[in-house]
Amino acid sequence: MQNETAEGEAWTALERGEAMRLDALFEAEPDRLQRLVIEHAGIRFDFSKTHLSREVLESFERLAEARDLAGAREALFTGAMVNPTEGRAAEHSAGRGQGAPDSVSLAQALHLRMRALIDAIEAGAFGPVRHILHVGIGGSALGPDFLIDALAREGGERYEAAIVSNVDGIALERATAGFDPQTTLLVIASKTFTTLETMLNARSAIAWLAEGGVADPYGRIVALTASPERAVEFGIDETRVLPFPESVGGRYSLWSSIGFPAALYLGWDAYESLLEGAAAMDRHFRYSPPMRNAPLIAAFADRFYANVRGCETRAVFAYDERLRLLSSYLQQLEMESNGKSAKLDGSPVGRASAAIVWGGAGTDAQHAMFQLLHQGTHSVPVEFVAAIEPGHRLDEEHHRQLLINCFAQGAALMAGKASDDPHRSYPGDRPSTTILLDRIDAATLGALLAFYEHRTFANAVLLGINPFDQFGVELGKEIAKAMDDGADLDFDPSTEALIARAFGEEA
């Protein structure tokens, strides 16, 4: 009861707090840069252009204490059951060496198994391999896709890789169009090894291998799964099945065997650097005090804008082509984790939970979306992500203009510009966070993705929800399976009409 009272008081203080403009905050708090810029693991997090005043942060610190965020964080890192609706721990950080000793030992053993298989592939155990065709969906695809795309130049001379997730056959046709079946390694990633989209794509990929003259298609498959027995039943040799624990959720699974295609494509040293970068952020989140803790400050900002300012969305813009898939990655991580309406005890959340995440790549996004951000009626917190070191060898003016545009947008959102002409007036006072990486490499990306994971977890703790289940994705899939099985279901008239139109069946 005492914690509930403290929690209610913290929310009341936040909701009744005085609203100050950003420019006024900089005047009132000349130390904002010192307090609200945090540097760690090669990343600079600048929260100074948010409305997190000293008083707001103090209220959030009291809220975190009332919600026992420190205890929840320790439970996460020590392998306690933090996913009660499924009766599991959430042990993705064990793959980075941060977790219960037994879980860390298991993760290390599974990594050794993965490395041994990569060594065997590179030694010719699968015959010549030039192409990697990875089939998965959701967390089984988004992480490897993001990492390979971001670091493509580091592994492009070794292999060509394609990640296929969409069940639309066009996706698989496009992926295989430039591949030679004789030199293609097929990777099937599915936690349960029953995911409909993945297994359909897998069967079609196997048929493509056979049609291409591969005598033993199953001999060119690697399976990544938490259900190894199903992969063996599917026909894959157990020596080519890389398991991961049930306690590792799909959208948190890049650090497990789901990271195999990235480790193969980039090389094991790069994958180890990824793990080390993530571990550095784990330690920062676990041990840093609240007011110097980047994931926690980010979560405070998320809660402030969603629950105090009523912002329904958050925009993420990567001012680096190598990070173009970041917003897609974050959409699943944040919205699948925290898009909930019930607390852990089953009671209603009673507040907005996850913001709707959207975004794109700068500078393209400036010419598509920034009109709304600068002059629209929606209030949208913006996140800019950029890197100091360029990823190309062209004239340095390219990167200079990219960064100048990034920094200018944040300044313009805050400052605005008054005009007698309402069509040329910019209200300003629009918040943004800037995340500036020293460079884009495996270690820094590991730290960045771990930052977003911990931010997501901290948001969940502040709201009292479980970020590790995802029952909301199941209902549509259940109905689709029932339709596919020909079950006699009483669909609404609209759905019945769509079925009749699409499949030529009687409504």
Q: Which residues are catalytic?
A: 336, 367, 477
State how far the Cα of 184 lies from the Cα of 324, in Å rounded to an integer. 26
Q: 292 with 215, same domain? A: no
Q: Is residue 277 part of a domain?
A: no
Look at residue 57 and tell me whether its pLDDT is greater than 50.
yes
For residue 141, give the amino acid letter: A
Of 293, 276, 310, 309, whose CA–CA distance to 93 is shortest?
276
For the domain that residue 415 is a member of, what is the CATH number? 3.40.50.10490
Compute CA distances 77 → 360, 388, 454, whole Å.
32, 32, 11
Q: What pLDDT, on a 0 to 100 scale, did the predictor assign at position 503?
A: 87
Q: 36 with 156, same domain? A: no
DSSP3 helix / strand / coil % (the chain, rounded to 5) = 55, 15, 30
Q: 45 with 124, same domain? A: no
Span 128-142, mean pLDDT? 97
Largest CA distance in the chain: 75
Compute CA distances 441 → 91, 322, 381, whole Å.
24, 10, 27
Q: What pLDDT, on a 0 to 100 scale, did the predictor assign at position 504?
A: 83
Q: What predicted TM-score, i.e. pTM, was given to this entire model?
A: 0.97
State how far the Cα of 240 lies from the Cα of 118, in Å rounded to an integer. 10
Q: 10 with 74, same domain? A: yes
User: Going by C-beta distance under 8 Å and a sequence separation of 6 or more, which residues neighbour residue 493?
Assistant: 507
Q: What percent of the chain has pLDDT over 70?
A: 98
CA-atom Rg of the chain in angstroms: 24
Q: Is residue 92 part of a domain?
A: no
pLDDT bin (cut points 50, 70, 90) of residue 2 is low
Q: What pLDDT, on a 0 to 100 scale, did the predictor assign at position 480?
A: 86
Q: 250 with 133, same domain? A: yes
Asked if 406 and 386 count as a contact pair (C-beta separation under 8 A), the reply is yes
Q: 174 with 219, same domain? A: yes
Asked if 388 and 441 count as a contact pair (C-beta separation under 8 A), the reply is no
* Residue owning tokens 């769509």: 498
Average pLDDT of the residues of the chain: 95
Asked if 243 and 257 count as a contact pair (C-beta separation under 8 A), the reply is yes
SS (HEC) of 213-251: CCCCHHHHEEEEECCHHHHHHHCCCHHHEEECCCCCCHH
SS (HEC) of 114-152: HHHHHHHHHCCECECCCEEEEECCHHHCHHHHHHHHHCH
Rounded to 5 degrees, φ, ψ at 354 are -70, 140
pLDDT bin (cut points 50, 70, 90) of residue 156 is low
Look at residue 409 and tell me whether its pLDDT is greater than 80.
yes
Q: How confident is the model over 354-363, as pLDDT tens digits?
A: 999 999 999 9
Q: 292 with 393, same domain? A: yes
Span 130-151, mean pLDDT? 97
Q: What percent of the chain has pLDDT over 90?
A: 90
Look at residue 461 and tell me whether its pLDDT is greater than 50.
yes
Q: 55 with 156, same domain? A: no
Tell me which of 149-158, 309-318, 390-399 is least confident.
149-158
Q: Is residue 56 part of a domain?
A: yes
Element (H, E) at 79: none
Q: 397 with 348, same domain? A: yes
Q: How confident is the model over 312-329, as pLDDT tens digits?
A: 999 999 999 999 999 999
Classify residue 286 by burial, with Cβ atoms within 10 Å: 0-12, 13-18, 19+: middle
The CB density around residue 24, as the number of other CB atoms within 10 Å, is 12
SS (HEC) of 175-225: HHCCCCHHHEEEEEECCCCCCHHHHHHHHHHHHHHHHCCCCCHHHHEEEEE
State how far the Cα of 148 lies from the Cα of 187, in Å rounded to an integer. 14
Span 449-464, mean pLDDT? 98
Q: 252 with 344, same domain? A: no
C-alpha dihedral (80, 85, 86, 92), degrees to nearest 10: -50
Which residues partner with 426 through β-bridges? 417
Q: 373 with 429, same domain? A: yes
Asked if 446 and 275 count as a contact pair (C-beta separation under 8 A), the reply is yes
Domain that holds residue 247: 100-266
Q: What pLDDT, on a 0 to 100 scale, did the predictor assign at position 44?
A: 98
